Amino acid sequence: MKIGRWIVAVTLAGVLPAVPAGRVSDPVRIVALGDSLTAGYGLAANDAFPLKLQRALAAKGIAADIANAGVSGDTSSGGLARLDWSVPDGTDAVILELGANDALRGVDPKVTRGALDTMLRRLGDRHIPVLLCGILAPRNMGAEYGHAFDAMYPDLAKAYGAILYPFFLEGVATEPKLNQRDGLHPTAAGVDVIVEKILPAVERLVARVKTEARKSP
């Protein structure tokens, strides 16, 4: 992630007062931490989810800088391993979208839950609000696996007070016209649907950032 993406405030001693850490700036600085669904696998850079979401927010008068911290093929454990450098100091909020590759590889749901749990705890310790994006396990993994996997997202969101978006691919999964040939990754039109559907939850995330900022001394 390029440091140049952030607005750096330089304080002149004796001239300007220091800005307390965590104070909301304009734009709101969001990190989209995820896998290929976030990274924009198979798409032009301008069609990736973070940039399209940023433009959708701007159209509603919400200034946001959304960093694309998506890594194709990443699992929840991989996201945990890179959490600290993917979410640098100065981040106001995180959109957490991980778990799809865990499900496709049949990773034990306990492992996935553990990684997501640790990420939510560590982000909470840093007072960074999170929008947790749920993933549904493929139905061919069996009912027991699917139940254990699907349930972890609402459970974790409730435990940590995160905003939950139940299914990241809502309205896109299984729709041939909205997916690339692999049937797994959305087309540019599919990303448009994702952005449209998730936008209200992201607006709640931004509102939460601003509310927390007003509470800061």
* pLDDT at residue 174 tops 70: yes
Q: Which of 86, 108, 182, 216 is catalytic?
A: 182
Tell me the percentage of the chain whose pLDDT exceeds 90: 84
Instruction: Provide the pLDDT confidence category of residue 23 given band limits of 50, 70 and 90.
Output: very low
What mean pLDDT comes out for the span 33-51?
Answer: 97
More confident residue, 196 or 13: 196
Helix (H) or strand (E) holding 30: strand 28-34
The two tokens of residue 210 are 């601003």
Q: What's the chain's average pLDDT?
A: 89
Domain range enclosing 82? 3-215
Q: Which of 35, 36, 92, 150 is catalytic?
A: 36
Q: Is 192 a catalytic residue?
A: no
Q: Is 36 a catalytic residue?
A: yes
Say how far apart CA 124 and CA 5 lie, in whole Å: 23
Total domains in the fold of the chain: 1
Sheet holding 130-133, edge to edge: 64-70, 28-34, 93-97, 130-133, 163-165
The two tokens of residue 135 are 């993933």
DSSP-H helix ranges across 72-187: 76-81, 83-86, 100-104, 109-125, 143-160
More confident residue, 5 or 192: 192
Q: Is 127 a catalytic residue?
A: no
Q: Which of 65, 76, 102, 185 is catalytic?
A: 185
State residue 90's pLDDT score. Answer: 95
State residue 215's pLDDT score. Answer: 73
**Contact by Cβ (8 Å): 198, 169:** no
What is the domain-level CATH number for residue 176?
A: 3.40.50.1110
State residue 216's pLDDT score. Answer: 66
Helix (H) or strand (E) holding 55: helix 49-59
Q: Rounded to whole angstroms, what are the CA distances from 206 to 103, 131, 135, 182, 201?
A: 29, 10, 22, 33, 9
